[in-house]
Amino acid sequence: MASTPANITWHEGHVSRSERAQLLKQTGLTVWFTGLSASGKSTIASALEQHLLHRGVNAYRLDGDNIRFGLNKNLGFSPEDRAENIRRIAEVSLLFADSGTVAITSFISPYRADRDSARKLHADAGIPFVEVYADVPVSVAEERDPKGLYKKARAGEIPGFTGVSAPYEEPERPEVHIRTDRTTIAEAVQQIAAFLEARKLIF
């Protein structure tokens, strides 16, 4: 992991996090979706973003594929690049959350250690981090396969594909666990919203 460059100093602003939350009338946090490709995490994340915005909560979704068109376009899918991909998005989501926004991230993030690092980054900053596990059997994800990725992976066209030739380490204690093959999108959104309400993270 890269160390902090020499000769730089953190510059505190004039607005505290509590003052920002009071002025915006909401608390910033990160809702971190993880799960296999075709688990439904991006679909539910999009619906959650819409739901929150319609109830007056400022939210913004950071999608795994979309981020690779810009910020992370120089990264591949090796374990090292996957780790860097998650490190960067953890930092970005932290910035969004610190600004008072509900940051919604949707990344396969297959390695538990990388997700734990993202959680610790938020914990160290005192910002809530909610892990949502979009849980679906590989067989169901493969049946869905909207992008045709599993088919390509089985044909050897995509090396290191999560769930086929690369591992997915399931979350051990996610805040929200959704079996997406048994739950509608609307039900999933309500499950997440109910958790956030119970924790007084949204009002």
Q: Can you give the pTM of this predicted structure?
A: 0.92
Query: Which of 18-27, 81-90, 153-162 is the least confident region?
Result: 18-27
- Residue 4 placed within a domain: no
Structure tokens of 43? 């679909």
| Residue 172 placed within a domain | yes
pLDDT tens-place string over residues 24-46: 899 999 999 999 999 999 999 99
In the predicted model, is pLDDT for residue 1 greater than 70?
no
Residue range(s) defining the domain that contains residue 57: 20-198
Cα distance between the two ends of the chain = 38
Torsion sign over Cα 135, 138, 144, 145 = positive
Residue 2 located in a structural domain: no
**Domain count of the fold of the chain:** 1
Of 99, 106, 109, 165, the catalytic one is: 109
pLDDT 10s digits, 40-76: 999 999 999 999 999 999 999 999 889 999 999 999 9
Least confident range from 6-10, 30-34, 92-96, 97-101: namely 6-10
Q: Is residue 10 part of a domain?
A: no
Domain annotation covers residue 191: yes
**8 part of a folded domain:** no
DSSP H or E run through 31: strand 29-34
Residue 16: what pLDDT? 87
Within a domain: residue 39? yes
In a domain, 12, yes or no: no
pLDDT digits (tens, 9 = 90+) for 166-191: 999 999 999 999 999 999 999 999 99
For position 24, which CATH number holds?
A: 3.40.50.300
Backbone CA torsion sign across 174, 194, 85, 156: positive
Question: Pick from 13, 37, 34: which is nearest to 158 by CA?
Answer: 37
Residue 109 known to be catalytic: yes
The pLDDT value given to residue 2: 61
